[in-house]
A and B are shown apart, each in its own frame.
Chain A
C-alpha cells in the first residue's frame, strides 16, 4: 500500500523567510501528487499537482512554487513567506478507485 511521508509536522517561520516542505511517497511508481492547503476549519484548496517528474500544474496564483525532482518526491517552496501563507499543508497521492492517500500534514505558522 502507498505511504506518504511529509515533514516537518509543525513549522514556525518569520515573514520573509524561505520555505521548503518535502513529501515522499512509498509503495508506488509514477504517482499523481498534490499539494493542498487547508485554512483553519475550512476545506482543502488545491495548490499544485504533478503527473510526472518536472511536470507541475499550478491551480492558484500565489507566493508558492512546487517542484518534482524525482518520481516519488514533491517539494513545496517559497522564497519569501507572507503572513497569509499560514495554514495546514497536505501532500497527497492519487490511487484511482481508492481515492487519495494523504500525508499527516505540516502546520505552518508565519509570524
Chain B
C-alpha cells in the first residue's frame, strides 16, 4: 500500500532559521496534505496540495509537490519556538477520494530559542 514517509525523523534548528521537511510516497495520489501535531494533541491541518499543483503558500509555509519523484517538501520560513511540533504528510490514492488517507511517521521539529 502507498505510504507517506517523512524525512528527517527529527530536526533541530535555531529560531529564525528555515526548516525543511520532506515526504515521499509510493503510488499516484489525488492530493497530499501536511499536518502539525503539538505534543499530546490532535493534528491540525496546515495545507493541501493537489496532484496538478506544484507549489502552494500559506503564510510562512511553502509546500512543493513533485509527482514525477513522488515527493513533497514543507518549508517553514523564519521559524519560531511555537513551531516546535511533529509534522506529518498524508496522501490518498488516486480515485479514492477522502476514504483512506495514509499518514507518514512524522518529523519532530524542535525550534530552539
Contacts and interface: CB of A to CB of B under 8 A. Distances in A.
Given A99-B45, A99-B48, A49 B40 contact: no
Interface residues of B, number: 21
B102 A46 contact: yes
A86 B106 CA distance: 20
What is the size category of the interface that chain A forms with chain B? Answer: 20 to 34
- A-side interface mostly: strand
Nearest to A88: B40
A43 B48 contact: no
Interface in A33-67: 36, 41-44, 46, 49, 51, 57, 59
B110 interface: no
B42 A42 contact: no
Given A99-B48, A101-B45, A104-B42, A43 B103 contact: yes
A98 B98 contact: no
Contacts of B101: 46, 94, 100
